[in-house]
Amino acid sequence: NRAPADLAFFEDLEPPLGDFLADASAGLASAPKTLSPKYFYDQRGSELFEGICETREYYVTRTEIALLEKLGPAFAEKAGKGTRIIEYGSGAGVKIRTLLDALDEPAAYIAIDISREHLLGATRTLAADYPHIAMGAICADFTAPLTLPPEAAIGNGLALGFLPGSTIGNFSPEMAELFLSRIAAMLGKGGALLIGVDLKKDKAVLDAAYNDAAGLTAAFNLNILKRMQNELGAVLEPDNFMHKAFFNEEKGRIEMHLESLCDQAVELGGTRYPFAKGETLHTENSHKYTVEEFTRLAEKAGFAADTVWTDENDYFSLHWLNV
Ligand code: AVJ
C-alpha cells in the first residue's frame, strides 16, 4: 500500500464489511445473543470512547496516564536507546506520547488499530510532532493472527509491545493467553511488553465506571446498533434497547448488554431475529484481574514477569513482561 509521505509505511488490512455482517448474523442467531466489542469502534464509536475516558466515573484512563507519566524514567532505563514500539489498539494516540517523550531516542513507532481513518489521522499527527521517529500504521483486527510487514523492522533496539488501557480485559482469560502468546512470538526473544491491566476492586466503583451519569457509555453501547442499521441495512429500533452494565463478581468481569425493552425483532440480511422483552444482546466483557492472577496468565503465555507498578488506590496496574 502507498503510505502518506509522512509515514514510514501504511499497511491496510481493514477487515471487509462482510465480516461484520457474518459476525452480527451469527451473534444474533446464538443463544444468548452476542456481538464482539471490536465493532464499537467506527469513527463515532471511537469518539464516544474518548468521551468516556474523560468522565469522572471512568477512572481507568486517567489513572493509567498518571502512572505512565510518573514511570517514564523507569521505562527509559529498562528500554535503552533506539526502541521500536508496537502498539496494539492505538486509538487517539495519547498514551504513546508519554513513552515517546520518556524513552531515550526511540527509533520507531508502529500503530495497529481497526479504525482506519482514526488510525491514519492519529499516526500522522504524531509524525508531525515527532519528526525524528519513524512512524508506521497497520489497519487490522489485531485479535486475528498478524505478522508484521518487512518495513516494520526498523532499527536494532528493543522491540517493545505496548498494550495499554486494559484492552486485554476484552478477551476471556483463555483468549487473552492465546493473544499474549501471539504477541510474544511477534516481538521475539529479547522483546518486552508493557501492558495496562485494570484491577479487581469495589463493585460500586466498577459499576459506576460503566454507567457514567452523562450517558456516554450508554451511547457508546447503543452506537453498535446504529452501525448495524447504517452499514448492514439492519431493520431495528435503537430506542427499544437499553444500556445495561454491571460487574459479574463470579466471572470477575464487567458485562455490557443491550436489553430489549419490549417483544420485538431485528431484521438483518433477510433474517428476522426475535427478542423477548428483557432479553439482551451481550456486547462486551471487560475482565478485571488481581496482580497475581494476571502475572500467572502472562507466564502461561510465555512471558517472564519483570516489574509491576500500581497506583496508590490499587485501581490499575502496569506490567513489564519479557519474552
Ligand atoms: C477499551 C476495552 C479497555 O473495557 O474498559 C469502556 C471499553 N467499554 N467503557 C473497557 C469500555 C465501556 C474499555 N476497553
pLDDT tens per residue, range 189-222? 999 999 999 999 999 999 999 999 999 999 999 9
**Separation of 92 CA from ligand 1 center, angstroms?**
14
d(CA 148, CA 86): 10
Q: Which atom of ligand 1 is nearest to the CA of 220?
A: 12
Decide if pLDDT at 28 tops 70. yes
**Separation of 278 CA from ligand 1 center, angstroms?**
24
d(CA 136, CA 144): 19
pLDDT tier at 1, thresholds 50, 70, 90: low
Closest residue to atom 2 of ligand 1, CA basis: 167
Q: Which three cell numbers stand for residue 228?
A: 448495524
Cβ of 164 below 6 Å from ligand 1: no
d(CA 231, CA 309): 42
Q: What is the pLDDT of residue 315?
A: 98
Q: What is the pLDDT of residue 17?
A: 82
For helices 216-232 and 43-54, angle between their N-to-C axes, nearest 10 degrees: 180
> How do 280-287 and 33-34 pair as beta strands?
parallel
Specify the range with the lowest mean pLDDT, choosing from 42-46, 94-98, 168-172, 191-195: 42-46
Specify the range with the lowest mean pLDDT, choosing from 27-36, 136-145, 186-195, 199-208: 136-145
Per-residue pLDDT tens digits for 48-91: 999 999 999 999 999 999 999 999 999 999 999 999 999 998 87
Q: What is the pLDDT of residue 2?
A: 66
Closest residue to atom 5 of ligand 1, CA basis: 286
Per-residue pLDDT tens digits for 224-283: 999 999 999 999 999 999 999 999 999 999 999 999 999 999 999 999 999 999 999 999
Per-residue pLDDT tens digits for 110-137: 999 988 888 999 999 999 999 999 999 9
Q: Which atom of ligand 1 is nearest to the CA of 209?
A: 9
Cβ of 143 below 6 Å from ligand 1: no
Share above pLDDT 90 across residues of the chain, in percent, rounded to a whole number: 86
Cβ of 61 below 6 Å from ligand 1: no
